[in-house]
Amino acid sequence: MTVKILSIGRKKIDPGCQPFLIENRFYNLYIGFQHPEWKERFVGSLCLITLMSVVWIVFAGSVSAAEAGKPQTGQSECEFEGQITKTVRLKYLLYLPRGYGEDAKQKWPLIIFLHGMGERGDDLEKVKVHGIPRIVEQREDFPFIAISPQCPDTSFWTAEVDALNALLDDVVAKYAVDENRLYLTGLSMGGFGTWALAMEYPKRFAAIAPICGRGDPGKVCVLKDVPAWVFHGAEDQTVPISGSEDMVRALKDCGGNVKFTVYPEVGHDSWTETYNNPKLYEWFLKHSLKER
């Protein structure tokens, strides 16, 4: 802070104290005094006292402002709140069943299928190799809308939960989807993704079918009201069966509605037999969010 005194009245100058200007970074003060000849000495003293008082007020005010803006040293409790905008992008296969659009009022059940690690990338032909995309090309009477997204080459489904949910929002908004009958399934890495997506949005899916996957048993109880049919090969060396066993056990312990199918002599490929089984799709259609 800088204080500059431009002029000060003296007692021999008549009629009294000359005006003086006090300037600093924040203050511009103009003070003037008038007095008759016989009060010359008194008022001259008064001018000086007033000047000193003003200087002290300005200085003290500036110090207080500086201290108020000074951060406290040591540890203190703080809180942050902000908003982040995220852009997500996924390529996907869309299947619309025979008869779609003939009745404008009809709503259709939807299955979202999550592929395994080997089908990652930007070539959707790879996604057609296994699971639902393969089934819909073999069955003309598949009674579901099906979406089969492709995971980016350097990512995993467990890291794409927000993108998957956004994709589902987009498809539901654009097509005649029955939101009470949304079903989720996936194999291997897609089995991991099935558990992760369902646990993040437990009220969204009417039923789930994770195949040779794994999740967090400590969090699975959020799915206690979501029907689950879990599949795994007993001889799986890629994703050990203990991954599914732990999830099923934890879900049962909290009263979950869960079925567990183990293929005794099957390794990692526990999905071919599962997706070829018509009973899986019959089981899906038995469940609706309206039941909860």
Q: Is the confidence at residue 63, as pLDDT, over 60?
A: no
Share of the chain above pLDDT 90, in %: 72
pLDDT higher than 90, residue 228: yes
Q: What is the mean pLDDT of residues 136-153?
A: 95
Strands 28-31 and 20-23 come out as antiparallel
Which single residue is written with the structure tokens 């009294």?
Answer: 16
Q: Is the pLDDT of residue 71 over 80?
A: no
Residue 68: pLDDT above 80?
A: no
The 10 Å Cβ neighbour count of residue 155 is 12
CB distance 115 to 189 below 8 Å: yes
Strand ordering across the sheet containing 258-263 = 91-95, 145-150, 108-114, 177-187, 207-211, 228-233, 258-263
pLDDT band at 234 (very low <50, low <70, confident <90, very high): very high
Reported as a pLDDT band with limits 50, 70 and 90, residue 291 is: confident
Confidence of residue 84 (pLDDT cuts 50, 70, 90): confident
What pLDDT does 111 receive?
Answer: 98
Average pLDDT over residues 95-113: 96
Lowest mean pLDDT among 53-62, 72-81, 100-109: 53-62
Predicted confidence at residue 60, as pLDDT, reads 53
Least confident of 38-42, 95-99, 145-149, 201-205: 38-42
- pLDDT of 72 reads 79
- Percent of residues, the chain, with pLDDT higher than 70: 76
Average pLDDT, the chain: 85
Q: Is the pLDDT of residue 24 over 90?
A: no
The answer, yes or no, to whether residue 38 has pLDDT greater than 70, is no
> Does 184 score more than 80 pLDDT?
yes
pLDDT of amino acid 219: 97
CA 284 to chain centre: 29
Q: Provide the residue type at 230 as one letter.
A: V
Domains in the chain: ranges and CATH: 4-64 (no CATH), 91-291 (3.40.50.1820)
Half-sphere exposure of residue 129: CA atoms within 13 angstroms, side-chain side: 14
* Residue 13 to residue 4: CA distance in whole angstroms: 21
Rounded mean pLDDT of 173-198? 98
How many residues would you count in the chain?
A: 292
Q: What is the pTM of this model?
A: 0.74
How sure is the predictor about 70, in pLDDT bands with cuts at 50, 70 and 90? confident
